[in-house]
Amino acid sequence: MSEHEGTLHGYDRIKSKKTLKEILEVATSFEATARDFYTGLIPKVSKKLRWLVEELAAEEAGHYRMFIDLAARDDIAHQIGAEVLVPASDRKFSDAVLLPDLGEHPDDQTLLRYALGREHTAMEQYQALADSTEPGPIHDLFVFLANEETKHKNELEQLYYEVVHSGGV
C-alpha cells in the first residue's frame, strides 16, 4: 500500500486519536489548574480587576465540577472508551495546564492578556471536541463549554480594549 499525501498510516493514525477518557482527564486538569491559578491571583491583582479574577475562579470551579460529575455517570461509561480525532488545538490545550508565574503583583494588561489566551485555547478545544463527538451528554458538555468560553473571551476582549485604549477599567 502506498502512502498518499494527507492520509494517516500506522503510528500517525494512532497518534491522531485519543479516548474520550484521556481527553476528559486533561480537560478536568485544565479546569482545576485554572480554578487554582485564578484563586491564587485574587489577593495579588489590582482592586479594579479583583471582581474579574473572582468570577473566573468561580466559573472554572463550575467547569471542573461538570467534568467530575460527568465522569461519575454510569450511563456514559461505554462512551468514555470511544476514540475521537485529536483536535489541532490539543497540544496547546494540554500545555495550558502548566501555568506561568505572573509575579506578586501582575499588571492589569498582563493578567487580561493571559486570561484571553487561556479562554481562546479552551474555546477552540471545546468547539473541536463538540464537533467530533456523538450526540449525548459528553457532546452537550463540550457545546456548553465552547459557548461559555466564547462568551468569556468576548467579555475579556472588551475589558482588555477598555484597559489598553481607555487607560483603565
Query: Quick check: is 2 in a domain?
Result: no
- Using CA atoms of 27, 137, 14, 7 in order, give the dihedral in degrees to the nearest 10: -110
pLDDT in tens, 7-44: 444 444 445 677 888 888 989 998 999 899 899 989 99
Per residue in 103-155, pLDDT (tens digit) is 788 888 888 888 898 899 999 999 999 998 888 898 999 999 999 999 999 99
Q: Is residue 82 part of a domain?
A: yes
Mean of pLDDT over the chain = 83
Supply the pLDDT for residue 3.
45
CATH number of the domain that residue 128 is part of: 1.20.1260.10
Pick the closest to residue 22 from 105, 87, 75, 108 (CA basis).
87
Structural domain contains residue 3: no
Residue 128 inside a domain? The answer is yes
- Domain of 101, in residue numbers: 15-166
- Residues 71-86 pLDDT 10s: 888 888 778 877 877 7
- At residue 2 the predicted structure's pLDDT band, cuts being 50, 70 and 90, is very low
Number of domains making up the chain = 1
| Residue 60 is assigned to a structural domain of this protein | yes
> How much of the chain, in percent, has pLDDT values that exceed 90?
33
In a domain, 55, yes or no: yes
- Residue 10 is assigned to a structural domain of this protein: no
Would residue 1 count as lying in a domain? Answer: no
